[in-house]
Structure 1
């Protein structure tokens, strides 16, 4: 019985790590977007253009999906 709880605890720690990793991936683009709206840094549209905005948007969505998987509590 102890072995299964040990594996469960390890898997939970790995899932939480994956969740934080996903948030870490998405956070810079959120900060960049807010600072770009305030005019403190060049906006993503200025850097990537209209068609290139898919690049930071895709990275942000991937980070949020990874975070959702990592923080999903299916117990």
Structure 2
């Protein structure tokens, strides 16, 4: 199992795919924020409510962490 993970972790294509997946999770909320500030769409608080803000926050933080892991370029020794 370690060998399979090692091949995946060292594959530049696979890491880029993981990174872009993380970015795709973040982009809708990044676009929603300025649009809601301009009052073109309802704000996140209006849609989810204050207690429900955990949902978009979890998605955004997870997306950023996934993107960081995917785009992390470590030494290939």
What's the TM-score bracket when you normalise by the shorter of the two chains? Answer: 0.7 to 0.9
Q: Which runs of 4+ in 1 moved over 4 A?
A: none
Partner of 2:47: 47
Flag structure 1 segments of 5+ consecutive residues without an equivalent.
1-6
Question: How far is 1:38 from its partner?
Answer: 1.0
- Residues 15-72 of structure 1: per-residue CA shift (max 9 Å, x gap): 0111011000110011111111110000000011111111001001000000000000
Aligned to 2:67: 67
Name structure 2 gaps, 5 residues minimum. 1-6
RMSD between superposed Cα atoms in Å: 1.5
| Equivalent pairs, count | 68
Q: Which has the higher helix share?
A: 1
**Using the alignment, how far apart are the partners of 1:27 and 1:12 within structure 2?**
22
- What's the TM-score once normalised by structure 2's chain length? 0.82
Rounded to whole Å, the distance in 2 between the matches of 1:19 and 1:41 is 28
